Amino acid sequence: MDRNRLRNQVASMRRSLFDQGYLDDQFIQLEELQDDTNPNFVEEIVTLFYNDSARLIQNIEQALNSSPIDFCKLDDYMHQFKGSSSSIGAKKVTNECTAFREYCNAENAEGSFQQVKQEYAILKRKLEVYLQTVRQASQTA
């Protein structure tokens, strides 16, 4: 029962993440890579992403706080961030990155990085919950 409930929970959470556009097809690619040799692949990757991107975000904020703003470097960071987030299927985060990058290209860094951070944080929370549920479901199974 618990197992089923958990599984259902996992399924519905997952569906909503996709439906709401937080995740895209690339996430499915990750899921498909998970196998016996890497049973927790998705979780590992998400964790790796968040750890690595934290550093990147720091760099970005630092760049934003410096004056004058080095837009070239900023664009570089954003490019990296975008590549990273897209590789795990973080759809909204990636979109925000693209939007912010456009601002940067116009040398106008106002406003948008917060949005990036926001989406990033939201997704993080959601994924944490989701993955935790997944783990629970697999454990009970």
Residues that bind other proteins (CB under 8 A): 25-26, 29-30, 32-33, 35, 38, 41, 44-45, 48-49, 52-53, 76, 79-80, 82-84, 86-89
Supply the minimum distance, in Å, between the C-beta of residue 57 and other proteins: 14
Which is nearer to other proteins, 20 or 29 (by Cβ)? 29
Supply the minimum distance, in Å, between the C-beta of residue 4 and other proteins: 30
The closest of 120, 137, 134, 136 to 42, measured between CA atoms, is: 134
Cβ atoms < 10 Å from Cβ of 87: 15
Determine contact, residues 97/81, Cβ cutoff 8 Å.
yes
* DSSP-derived secondary structure letter, 34: -
Name the β-bridge partners of 23. 90
Alpha-carbon distance of 81 to 21, in angstroms, equals 18
Which is nearer to other proteins, 36 or 110 (by Cβ)? 36
Which is nearer to other proteins, 9 or 80 (by Cβ)? 80
Q: Is the link from the previous residue into 68 a cis peptide, with omega within 30 of 0?
A: yes
Supply the minimum distance, in Å, between the C-beta of residue 3 and other proteins: 28
Which is nearer to other proteins, 59 or 115 (by Cβ)? 59
Supply the minimum distance, in Å, between the C-beta of residue 10 and other proteins: 22
